[in-house]
Structure 1
Amino acid sequence: MSTSSRRRNRSLASCEPCRKSKIRCDHQQPVCASCRRRGRESLCSYHPAPLTKHGSTQARAASIPYNSDRVDENFTLDSLGFVGVSKPNSSIRAPSFQSWPFIPDRKGSPSRDSVSKSHNEKARSEQLASLTEIICALRFLPTIKKLVHDYFVYIGTALVPKAIVHQLLEIVCNDLTKSGYIKQESESCTSVHDVSRLAENILYSTSSEATISATMDVKNFCAIFCEENLRVETLGLLYTLAARASLYKFNHAKVRGDAFIREMCWCSNSSLRLARELAPQTTDPIIWLAHENLQLMSLLEGDASLNVWRRVGDLATDLFALGLNREATYSSESIPFFLAESRRKTFVRAYYLDKIFATVFNRPPRISSRHADCKLPLDIPDDALFAISPETLSEIKNNPTHDGWNTSGICTPATWARLRYILGEFREETAEYQIRSTSSIDATKLRELSDRCRQTWCNLPAHLMYDPNCWISDLSPAVCYLHAKVYLSYLHIHFQIYRMLDECHTSTVPELLEVSADMLETVVLMANSLNRTICSPRDLPGLFLIYGLPSAIVLTTALETNIRDPAQPLPPNIKSSTVIRNISVLVSQLENVSGPDETNHGFCVQASQAIARKLDTILNTSTTLAPRADAVTDSGMEVEQATHQERDYSNSDHYMFNFSELDQLDFSAWVIDFDLVTDDGVWDTV
């Protein structure tokens, strides 16, 4: 080391990253061990004059007026990106939002630094206060640790790979214990110490840029967001996973009550807000936190919540900020293999969620496939993503599969992500017709879209096809549940298409009745198997309202039409008795699928009451018309009467129902088209 890199007392000078982070440096050149361990090789450098007082230099720079017309001496055409080929870099950088396109980012411009500094000074006390509350929630760390482990035991579609979350959790627990910030007080509680200093460190780390290199393993990657680099999004992710796990049925008797869930939710929301405010660039943990927070709020507030809808848009913004939609621009080869696959899975999951909200609630989609070139994730288990052997990694990448699917017949988190993305593309096309500015419908194109969707579904590997008999097979109930959810999503695409085609006909399109019957039967089977299925009880109400309710409305309307006008019968493959039975079961399930404290409970109760009234009216009408003498078949046999005559209709006035309440309902946007706050408790449709 040159003498210029020594201090006045002849001691060796630390590199700039270690000096700014106030951590020990081993002074190795060209890269010290600390920067190598944290993945900051590109930032490791030694100041040529370590005795220089940076504070006075910055003060002099701030006193110089900034001229926006000043020409950068290093500004060349090459820097604009028009000339030559970009130089390879060992690290990937996210898109910059601090400069105009094709103009080099002037991060050191005094005008912007002064504005940022002024803003940070005003917000600093508020941020530190929020961080203090977030850190204090670490007193539940033993419970959080247990819940996070349970989450991955029972969830087959986890977005963040288990190895990454467990590594983050282990590093956080060990480092905070070793540093003396937390101390184990009991089996379920810890004490937190020196909160102010820890909050200052987290604030500084979160405000720093995280650099990722292609040679990182999972431990080095996690170290960027833990240890001395502990960031608020890391804590927020752990809190959110714990909150989601606590909402699942198998943990209802074990969680610390609603107070614990409320605190975890507050920490999740606050961590996400702070991470977005402080981080100079979006990070992968921020996107993971945003996705998990969206799922958590959807369970707590319902899919129709405006807050949930906002979170969908914010998640899309985070994806674009990190460039996950453009692999051609931000090469996946510049980051570790496990992270590249995780990013692909993250993008396709967010894309599918966006399409669900677009098609169910008639809202414009935020993420378009036309503006994305992200590849589907490989259909391999998450554990295989962390293969440390280059030979094993090459074998995984080059393993021949059928259209990208694994040949072993197993279902992985990537399997479900791939399925949903494929269906999401058809949902996007459907949304183009739903959210159109004109009322004209091209029936030919809609039927062609339905045919393409059906052909794609039929070409899937056999082990991915839903079988109604799976519930009584040896297949895991959790896997059956996921198969059914994907199948419902597939049916719903056809439902939306045939519903639009139905608008052009005076009578109901037969295909709409057939797909409605399939949707209703699938929902009923799912609910009947709830006691064998590991799922969130708050998940089913949304499925009932998205898939079960619209299909029941279509079928009850068809039954009523058939009774009033026998010339309009149901399709031959649909039995009235089966439809009535499934609708009756759905009514009962809607009443009990959610608790009074859940947001969707009011929707489910109102839907159950409306369908029950209409079903009772249909049965009353059928009973009245059944004894007619002309209701005889050609063979001389009387038409079979309804099998529900044993029902008590002595209170028939109670079951009278105004059909306009459901006839005027827009099936695709029913959630936002009725008002539950009515004096008489009856559906009030707009």
Structure 2
Amino acid sequence: MKLSDYASEIALKWETISLILALVGTATYQIHPDEAVLRDDRIPGRDKEAARRKMIAASDMCLQLCNRIGTISDPLCWATLQHTVFLIEMHGTNDYRTWERLGSLVTLVFALGLHQQKADENTPFFLIQIRRRTMAAAYSMDKELATFLSRPPRICRQYCDLQFPLDLSWEDIVTDDHSVRDAAVQQLDPKGWNMQGDPEKGARPRVALLANILREMILEVSLGHEVSDLEATVRDIRRKWDEMRFNLPPSLQWSADNKHPLATSLHLEFLYQDLLLYQAVEKRTGEIQPPLICTAREILALLLDTVSTQIRSGRISHITIFDLPYIGLPAAGVLSKALLRRPHGCADSSADGTYFPHSEVIQRLSIFAAHVETLFFKRDGDRDTCMKGVSFIRQVLDAVLTPQVHIPPTISCDENREVQRDVAVDTENLDFSTLLENFDWEQDIRLFFS
């Protein structure tokens, strides 16, 4: 079957209409808010906010019709996936409607058998590849929401035969010319990566699946009831993702000579995995991991360097705009807490040997907060959560930059801490310290991106 034949079969189905409506609604968040198309009074509702409300309601109505008659199909799975993305954009990652719709998506994935895809020579090539991409997207979204909400993932890899989509462009996947498709497949290495050095062809779904297999391992450490040998488990996770990094094609290996947005984003993702793992170990043992601060500093430095480079070029990648809050805010949270807990007058190197340059951290946090506020365009969902994180960072900066009571130079670092704690009793710093202890950064600020 050709794609055109398949498209004609599904074009007038409710699930296809739902998919189109969800795609249009999601697109309004991916277009710059100043674009004329979003200010055209001919769009439904006459403005983008009203158009979004109509699109989400109409898309949901189509899904309800499918559910009422017991429909199950590939297009219904695609529509449910896109509707979930739309809900995230409109209502936020931690909204119950998002979590509920993800449950519907996972149910469809299992019912369609996408988790156990068997070779079938009668299935069109394009449909095989789309199913693999659908599974990769559902699996990745499941892990991201599980991380953000601190809930067990619904899709577990030990029950799935996770097949990586081939690193092919959409044009190569859906072409009716078998010779063109076969030539494109011949350009792949034995693992399915394209050897032309083009990360924009079909690497993204493969990268997402790769990263979230690692994420599930970390969730097992963070959320699992018991971890028999924590040290050995952490070593095994690190060994596996070092192996994954090493086996990436050169076009996705981040370096000073390769700062492609996707390579940079993947490198940030690996650093983020490090951050999450160190936090998971800290949660288990109660001991702060010395590399945690170093990793957070590396994330923030790379993000700021990437934004600066792209601003100079005149174009900021949408990948970077999303990485800025979703990966940057958890790292900034780690540094903000560390900044508050290291009193004025103490050395930049602590007793555990961790280097913590106060001036550098303060400057980078300040620039980072400004970038998030400026570049992360207003959204109905996660914008408020992002701004909550930015507000937290600025309160930390206000606290550490406020003139402190004079501490004699002969007082030790520990005594310094005690004096400042006493002084805080009569100042607003006491309320802020309470905020610090009660602010659940991992639950409130660790945001989702797909």
Match of 1:500 among 256, 280, 296: 280
Aligned-partner residue type, residue 368 of structure 1: C
Contact 2:87 2:98 in 1 (8 A): yes
Unaligned runs of 5+ in 1: 1-215, 632-651, 673-686
* Separation in structure 2 between the aligned mates of residue 301 and residue 365 of structure 1, nearest angstrom: 21
Match of 1:433 in 2: 221
Question: What is the identity, as a one-letter code, of the residue corresponding to 1:599?
Answer: G
Is the Cα contact below 8 Å between 1:234 and 1:285 reproduced in 2? yes
What displacement does 1:557 show?
2.7
- Is it true that 1:366 corresponds to 2:154 in the alignment? yes
The question of whether the paired residues in 1 share the 8 Å contact of 2:251 and 2:258 is answered with no
- Label 1:459 to 1:596 Cα distance change in 2 as closer, same or farther (>3 A): closer
| Unaligned runs of at least 5 residues, structure 2 | 413-425
Counterpart Cα distance in 2 of 1:409 and 1:394: 18
- 2:240 pairs, out of 421, 444, 452, with 452
Match of 1:513 among 293, 315, 335: 293
* Residues 203-261 of structure 1: per-residue CA shift (max 9 Å, x gap): xxxxxxxxxxxxx00111111113xxx21122222222221222223464312312222
What TM-score do you get using the length of structure 1 for normalisation?
A: 0.55
Name the one with the larger helix percent: 2
- Determine whether 1:292 maps to 2:292: no
Structure 1 position 385, deviation (Å): 1.4
Checking the alignment, whether the CA contact within 8 Å between 2:300 and 2:332 is kept in structure 1 is: yes
CA distance in 2, matches of 1:552, 1:432: 24
Q: 46, 62, 67: which one pairs with 1:271?
A: 62
Instruction: Give the structure 2 partner of residue 628 of structure 1.
Output: 409
Q: Which moved more, 1:308-317 or 1:512-521?
A: 512-521
User: Compared with structure 1, are the counterparts of its residues 614 and 490 closer, same or farther at alpha carbon in structure 2 (3 Å cutoff)?
Assistant: same
Aligned to 2:415: none
- The 3 A distance-change label for structure 1 pair 534 and 272 is farther
1:580 pairs with 2:362: yes
C-alpha spacing 1:526/1:369, structure 2 compared with 1 (3 Å)? same
SS of 1:254 mapped into structure 2: helix
Match of 1:231 in 2: 13
Query: Which position in structure 2 is the counterpart of 1:669?
Result: 443
Q: What do you get for the CA RMSD once the two structures are aligned?
A: 3.3
Structure 2 residue aligned with 1:615? 397
**Aligned pairs (5 A) from 1:180-195:** none
TM-aligned CA distance change 1:288 to 1:468, over 3 Å: farther
Q: 1:289 Cα deviation (Å)? A: 1.0
SS of the counterpart of 1:658?
Answer: helix
How far residue 419 of structure 1 moved from its aligned partner, in angstroms, is 0.9
TM superposition score normalised by structure 2:
0.82
Q: Using the alignment, how far apart are the partners of 2:83 and 2:319 within structure 1?
A: 16
Aligned residue number for residue 109 of structure 2 = 319
1:241-297 alpha-carbon deviations (Å, 9 max, x no partner): 2212222234643123122222122211112222233354x2221111111111111
What letter is aligned with 2:60?
Answer: N
Say if 1:630 and 1:357 are closer, same or farther in 2 by CA, change over 3 A.
same
Deviations 1:80-113 (A, max 9, x none): xxxxxxxxxxxxxxxxxxxxxxxxxxxxxxxxxx
Equivalences for 1:132-147 in 2 at 5 Å? Answer: none
Please tell me whether the aligned partners of residues 523 and 547 of structure 1 are also in contact (alpha carbons under 8 angstroms): no
Task: Tell me: higher relative CO, structure 1 or 2? Use CA pairs within 8 A at least 6 residues apart.
Answer: 2
Matched, 1:304 2:85: no
Deviation at 1:659, TM superposition (A): 2.1
SS of corresponding position for 2:366 = helix
Distance 1:445 1:601, change over 3 A: same
C-alpha deviation, 1:301, in angstroms: 0.7
Aligned partner of residue 327 in structure 2, secondary structure: helix
Output the CA distance in 2 between the equivalents of 1:389 and 1:630. 78
Determine if contact 1:359/1:431 at 8 Å carries over to the other structure.
yes
- 1:628-667 matches, within 5 Å, as 628=409, 658-667=432-441
Spell out the pairing of 1:672-683 with structure 2 (5 A cutoff): none
* Total equivalences in the alignment: 419
Matches of 1:245 and 1:596, distance apart in 2? 14
Q: Tell me which of 254, 258, 264 is aligned to 2:37.
A: 254
Distance in structure 1 (CA, Å) of the matches to 2:240 and 2:343:
35
Structure 1 residue 532 corresponds to structure 2 residue 303: no
Q: Percent identity?
A: 22
1:458 offset after TM fit, Å? 3.2
Q: Is the 8 A contact 2:329 2:445 kept in 1?
A: no
Question: d(CA) in 2 for partners of 1:608 and 1:435?
Answer: 27
SS at match of 1:357: helix
Distance 1:655 1:586, change over 3 A: farther
Larger radius of gyration: 1
Q: Aligned equivalents of 1:323 and 1:499: distance in 2?
A: 35
Cα distance in structure 2, aligned partners of 1:563 and 1:512: 19
